[in-house]
Amino acid sequence: MTDLENRPDSGVVRHEPEEPIADPGLPPHELRPTDVDEKAERRAERQVAGMFLLSAVFTVLFCVSYFVFAIGDDPTMVLGLGASNVALGFCLGMALLLIGVGAIQWARKLMGDEEIVEMRHPARSSDEDREEAVASLTEGVEQSGIGRRPLIRNTLLLSTGLLGVPAIIALRDLGPLPGDKLYHTVWRKWMRVVQDVTGTPIKPEDLQVGQLVNAQPDVFYRPFNPKDSDGDDLTAAQAEARGEEPLEVPEGVELQQEKAKAATIVVRMEPSDITPSKGREDWGIDGILAYSKICTHVGCPISLWEQQTHHLLCPCHQSTFDLADNGKVIFGPANRALPQLPLMVDPDGYLVAQSDYTEPVGPSFWERG
Amino acid sequence: MRLLSQTTRRLAGGLSRHRRRKLAGPAVLLIALMLTGGLFALFSPAQAETKKANDADDVAAGRALFLVGCSSCHGANGEGIATKRGNNYGPPLVGVGAAAVDFQVGTGRMPLAGPTVQAPRKKVSYTKEEIQQLGAYVQSLGPGPAVPESEEYDPNEGDVSRGGAIFRTNCTACHNFAGAGGALPGGKYAPKLTDVSSKHIFEALLTGPQQMPVFSNDVLTPADKRDVISYLRQNDDAPKYGGFSMGTLGPVSEGMFAWLVGIGVLVGFAVWIAAHTARAKKAVKGGQQ
C-alpha cells in the first residue's frame, strides 16, 4: 500500500484493521485575542512596527558611532572597554535582533494560524516518465554512434583521461621534496648553546640546580667560524685549506625554519638523580642536560618543566617526558623519547654541542615510520 | 659679552667681600670639621661594627622566629627533614637565600597550613621586619640570592617589547600568554602573575619556588628580568579594547561562554517561537468564521 492509498480521501478501501487508538484528528481551531479583539490587534501591530522602527534607529546609531568614537592609539573608552567596539557591536546586534523578534511577534499575533494538514507525496516518477527518459537516452546513444565509431570513442577517452595529468604535475608547486632536511638541524660540534631572544652564551657555573634555559644555537646571533680539533677558531687560510666556510646568520624564512628545528631546552638537575642510558654518560656536564624543545608527538614547543619531578609536560596533548631518564615518555600520546643534544665545554668555558642531534627532532614522518 | 664680564666681576667681588667678614674663618673651620667627621663616621670601623651588630641582631631574631614557625618542617637548623621514603618533608634551606624567604613568606605561601601538592598563596603571617629577620637568618645558613634592590625590578625602567619576547619564550608555556596562570600535572598549577608584586616576580625568577625552574642572574640577567616585569605591568595596564577578556584563558572560557550563554539564549528563543500563544474564549469577531 502506498502513502497515496493511505490518504483519508483516496477512496481506497482499507484492508488494515482499525487502529487501536483512533486518530483524534486536529483539535478545533481556537482564536487568539488578536483575532477577536480589534484593540489587541492594533496593539500587536504597533508592537511589531515599533520593533522594526527601533531596529532602524539602531542601524542609524551604528553609522553614527562608526564616525563618532575614536579608535587607534588613543581610543574612546567606556567601562574599560573600547567604546567603538562596544557601540558598533551593540547597535548592529540590536538592529538584527529587533527585526527577528518583530517578525516572530508578527507571526505569533497577527499572521493567520489555521492548522493545515499537508500530505506527503511519493518520490518515484510515474512509469510513463521513466520509460520516456530511458527511450530518449537510448536514442541519443544510437544517434551519436559512439558504439559504432571506436576511433572517436578512444581518442575522446584519451583526451579526457590525460586531463588528470596537469593536476598531478601541479602538485610539484607544493615545493621540492624535503630530502634529508628532516634528519638534520643547524647544530654542530663546537657550536655554543645560547639563551633564546637575548643570545647570552652560558657557562656551566651560571646554571643552578633546578634551572631551565630556553636555548638556541649561537649561529642565530653570530656567524659560526670553523674550529680546529681543540675548539679554537681556525684562521681564514686554515679554514680554506680544510675546505670549510664560516656559517652566516640565517635570515627570514630560513631563520624561522632552522629555529623551529634547533630549539633546545637546557636543564640542570642533581647529577645523582640522572640515569643516563648506555653511551650517553658523557652527554651532560655536572647534571646539565640539553633536549630538543619540539614534542615528538605533533611538534609543539615544550618547556613546562617541573624542577622537582624533572617532568616535562607538553601543553598540547599532555605528553610527559622524564628528563632525568633520557627524555623517556612517561605519559601521553608521544611515541618517542625526546632527542637529547650531547653537550661539552669549549676552551673559553662555554657550553657547546658535541654534535648535531643524533636522531631527527620533532614528530614522526613517513620515511621514519 | 660685556654683560657676562660685568656679572663675573660682581660675583667675585661679592665673594671676596664675604671672605673678609669676621665670621668667615670660623664658618670655614666648622664646615671642614663636619666634612671630616662625616667621612670618618662613614668609613670608621665602629660604624661597620654597628652594622654587623644589627645584622647579628636580625639573625638572632630571625632564628627565634624560625624555631617557632618553621623548624617543625625545615629542621631546627634549616637542614631539612627527610621522610622515610627519602622525600622532603621540608626541604633544607641552606643556600636558598633571603630572596627565597622574602618570596615564600612575603606571599603567604609559607608557613604552609598543611601538606599539599603545592603551597597556595594566602594571607601573609609575618610583618615586613620579621620577614627581613627570617631572611637574614636563612642567609646566614649559607650564601644564596639576596633580596633585590628596588631599582632592579622598577617596571618603569625596562624595555617592554624585549620583555615580551623573553616572556613569550620562557614563561608563557606555564603562565599563559597574558600571565593568567595554568594547570600542571597532578593538581599543581602555575599561579597567575597579574596581582603579584614586581619584587616577588623577580624573586621567583631568581629562586625557582616549588616546581618553577630557576632563571639565575647569570643567564637571565637582572636587566632581562626587569624587562619581563615591565612587560607584565604594561599588560596589566593595557586597556581591554577588544571587550571582556574572560580571564584571558583562551578557548576554555570563551567556549564555555558560547555554550552556556550563547546556546542558552538561542534555546530560549526557540521555546518562545514554539510556545502556544494565548487563546481567546470570546465570540468570533464580526460574526464570521
DSSP B120: P
**Partner B contacted by A198 (CB < 8 A):** yes
Domain A182-368 maps to which CATH number in 2.160.20.10, 3.30.590.10, 3.40.50.300, 2.102.10.10? 2.102.10.10
Residues of chain A in contact with residue B237, where contact means CB-CB under 8 angstroms, are none
Site of grid cell 510515474 = A126
Q: What is the pLDDT of residues A1-28, one digit of tens each?
A: 445 445 555 555 556 667 788 878 888 8
Residues of chain A in contact with residue B225, where contact means CB-CB under 8 angstroms, are none
Q: Would residue B129 count as lying in a domain?
A: yes
Residue B280: which of A36, A208, A305 has the nearest Cβ?
A36
Q: Would residue B285 count as lying in a domain?
A: no
Residue B212: which of A36, A307, A315 has the nearest Cβ?
A307
Best mutation target, B207, B241, B244, B288, to test chain A (most A CBs within 10 A): B241
CA separation for the pair A280, B196 (Å, rounded): 41
Structural domain containing residue B172: 148-238
- Of B51 and A307, more confident: A307
CA separation for the pair B204, B181 (Å, rounded): 14
The pLDDT value given to residue B34? 77
> Do B51 and B134 reside in the same domain of the chain?
yes
Could you give the number of structural domains in chain B?
2
Cβ distance A81 to B240 less than 8 Å, yes or no, reads: yes
> Do B43 and B141 reside in the same domain of the chain?
yes
pTM over 0.95: no
Side chain identity, residue B24 = A
Q: Would residue B277 count as lying in a domain?
A: no
Cβ distance B184 to A212 less than 8 Å, yes or no, reads: no
Domain assignments of chain A as residue spans, ordered by start: 33-109, 182-368
> Do B220 and B185 reside in the same domain of the chain?
yes
Q: Where are the beta strands (DSSP E) in chain B?
A: 81-82, 88-90, 182-183, 189-190
* Other C-beta atoms lying within 10 Å of the C-beta of residue B48: 11
How far does B55 lie from chain A, in Å, by closest CA? 27
Mean of pLDDT values over A149-165:
94
**Partner B contacted by A76 (CB < 8 A):** no
Q: Would residue B264 count as lying in a domain?
A: no
> Do B60 and B119 reside in the same domain of the chain?
yes
CA separation for the pair B122, B118 (Å, rounded): 12
User: Which CATH number covers residue B67?
Assistant: 1.10.760.10
Q: Would residue B281 count as lying in a domain?
A: no
How far does B185 lie from chain A, in Å, by closest CA? 8
- The H-or-E segment that residue B99 falls in is helix B97-106
Identify the domain boundary among B238, B258, B283: B238
**Partner B contacted by A70 (CB < 8 A):** no
Q: Would residue B183 count as lying in a domain?
A: yes
Q: Would residue B200 count as lying in a domain?
A: yes
CA A134 to chain CA centroid, Å, is 48
- Prediction ipTM score: 0.74
Query: Which alpha helices (DSSP H) does A76-149 contain, by range?
Result: 83-109, 127-144
- Listing DSSP states for A227-240 in one string gives B-TTSPBPPHHHHH
CA separation for the pair B65, B110 (Å, rounded): 13
Residue A110 Rama label (left phi>0; alpha psi -120 to 50; beta): alpha
* pLDDT string in tens for chain B (289-residue length): 555 555 555 555 445 555 556 676 777 777 777 777 666 666 655 554 555 667 888 899 999 999 998 999 899 998 988 888 877 788 899 989 999 999 999 999 989 888 888 899 999 999 999 999 999 999 999 888 999 998 899 989 899 999 999 999 999 999 998 899 988 888 899 999 988 999 999 999 999 998 999 999 999 999 999 999 999 999 888 878 877 888 888 888 899 999 999 999 999 999 999 888 888 775 554 444 4
Nearest chain B residue to A113 by CA distance is B277
> Do B179 and B120 reside in the same domain of the chain?
no
Mean of pLDDT values over A258-267:
94
> Do B114 and B142 reside in the same domain of the chain?
yes
> Do B117 and B218 reside in the same domain of the chain?
no
Q: Would residue B112 count as lying in a domain?
A: yes
* Other C-beta atoms lying within 10 Å of the C-beta of residue A79: 8
Identify the domain boundary among B146, B171, B187: B146
Residues of B with CB under 8 A from a CB of A: 162, 165-166, 169-170, 173-174, 182, 184-185, 188, 208, 210-216, 218-221, 224, 239-244, 269, 272-273, 277-280, 282-285, 289
